[in-house]
Amino acid sequence: MSPEPRCAVVTGAARGIGAATVLTLAEQGWAVLAMDLAAGDPALPYPLGSAAELTGVVAEAGRRAGRPGRVRAFIGDVRDHDTVLAAVAEAEQHWGGLDAAVAAAGVIAGGVPQWEVPIDQERAVLDVNLGGVLTLARAAVPALLRREPPRHGRFLAVASAAATRGLPLLAAYCAAKAGVAGLIRALAVELAAHGVTANAVSPGSTATPILDESARLYDLGGAGDFAAQQPIGRLLRAGEIAAVLAFLAGPHSSGMTGAVVPVDGGLAL
Ligand SMILES: NC(=O)c1ccc[n+]([C@@H]2O[C@H](COP(=O)([O-])OP(=O)(O)OC[C@H]3O[C@@H](n4cnc5c(N)ncnc54)[C@H](O)[C@@H]3O)[C@@H](O)[C@H]2O)c1
């Protein structure tokens, strides 16, 4: 058995789905290292999460955990291996080991056909959405494997309905998310004998700032316009995605590995 509390690293933690995951895990007794770039990306025309948002999430998560030190902020870029390695090392040093890694950091760009997207935007989408998950796996899986057996390590990623649907004007995003699904399936097989599972969730349209940017890219009136595409007739809340990620991080998902779970209000049907 790993010592309590169970410990997770969550990327993309300043806002949206990553922030909701930090809050949910903290409520459930996890220690969490909450990592975010906490700055804009010069390649992208919309603001990313801020340092103030990250600080606010960490404070709120500490309150919900009833223990302020249970959740710590870590500012860094998921594209940088040494930085992600340092985040994992900090989590291990503070809490004695790593039990789960959640790759939620993501960005979006497009709005024009693939061949017209500025290359630096295409690179950002691929390097954060797929490269960042690979980088987290490279840093976190060895830490998950450092736990003494019997292990119950969890590697988790946020894919997207875009992993399986061909969304016009979002080609690099679709490619990156399909890559995440493929990565999770391969990691699941590589890790199966070692007591570590790998799973992903595929959210549908969820009310977060990335969806506001998607609406702008499609020249819509706002993110709410995506609600009609989902059979449930509304946008998802970030907490609804986080609830499934927290389940996947916990002991009751032990029979699942290599799964890419739609949390999409029926969007993929
Ligand atoms: N919101 C949706 O409708 C939706 C649907 C499907 C999938 N997703 C995926 O969910 C995940 C979370 O997105 P969200 O909806 O919370 O969007 P969001 O924009 O609210 O949050 C993304 C977070 O990732 C952080 N981030 C971006 N680049 C980073 C980097 N290089 N290093 C570290 N952190 C970085 C941002 O600062 C931000 O805080 C993403 O992978 C996204 O692709 C979202």
CA distance 165 to 183: 17
Give residue 2's pLDDT band: very low, low, confident or very high (50, 70, 90).
very low
Q: Name which residue sits closest to atom 31 of ligand 1, judged by CA.
A: 77
Atom of ligand 1 nearest to the CA of 204: 5
CB atoms within 10 A of CB 11: 32
Query: Residue range 189-216: average pLDDT?
Result: 98
Assess whether pLDDT exceeds 90 at residue 4.
no
**Would the CB of 12 count as within 6 Å of ligand 1?**
yes
Q: Best mutation site among 78, 80, 158 for ligand 1, i.e. most ligand atoms within 8 A of its Cβ?
A: 158
Cα 16 to ligand 1 centroid, rounded to whole Å: 7
Q: What is the DSSP secondary structure assignment for residue 180, as one 8-state letter?
A: H
Residue 193 pLDDT = 97
The answer to whether 218 is a known catalytic residue is: no
Cα 104 to ligand 1 centroid, rounded to whole Å: 6
Assigned architecture for domain 7-263: 3-Layer(aba) Sandwich (3.40)
The model's pLDDT over 75-99, given as tens digits with 9 standing for 90+, comes to 999 999 999 999 999 999 999 999 9
Residue 241 pLDDT = 98
Query: Residue range 212-229: average pLDDT?
Result: 97
The model's pLDDT over 44-62, given as tens digits with 9 standing for 90+, comes to 999 999 999 999 999 999 9
Cα 3 to ligand 1 centroid, rounded to whole Å: 31
**Strands 100-103 vs 7-11: parallel, antiparallel or unpaired:** parallel
The model's pLDDT over 132-184, given as tens digits with 9 standing for 90+, comes to 999 999 999 999 999 999 999 999 999 999 999 999 999 999 999 999 999 99
- Domain boundaries of the chain, sorted by first residue: 7-263
Residue 202: both structure tokens together: 């595929």
Q: Name which residue sits closest to atom 39 of ligand 1, judged by CA.
A: 49
Within the chain, what is the greatest distance between any pair of CA atoms? 52
The SS3 assignment for 219 reads coil
CB atoms within 10 A of CB 254: 11
**Would the CB of 210 count as within 6 Å of ligand 1?**
yes
Cα 38 to ligand 1 centroid, rounded to whole Å: 12
**Would the CB of 36 count as within 6 Å of ligand 1?**
yes
Residue 133 pLDDT = 99
The residue annotated as part of the active site, out of 74, 95, 155, 173, is: 173
Atom of ligand 1 nearest to the CA of 20: 16
Q: What is the DSSP secondary structure assignment for residue 76, as one 8-state letter?
A: -
The model's pLDDT over 105-131, given as tens digits with 9 standing for 90+, comes to 999 999 999 999 999 999 999 999 999
Query: Residue range 193-217: average pLDDT?
Result: 98
Looking at the chain, the whole-number percentage of residues with pLDDT higher than 70 is 99
Give residue 68's pLDDT band: very low, low, confident or very high (50, 70, 90).
confident
Distance of CA 10 to the CA centre of its chain: 7
**Would the CB of 208 count as within 6 Å of ligand 1?**
yes
Residue 46 pLDDT = 98
pLDDT averaged over the chain?
97
The SS3 assignment for 29 reads coil
Residue 25 pLDDT = 98
**Would the CB of 128 count as within 6 Å of ligand 1?**
yes
Residue type (1 letter), 114: Q
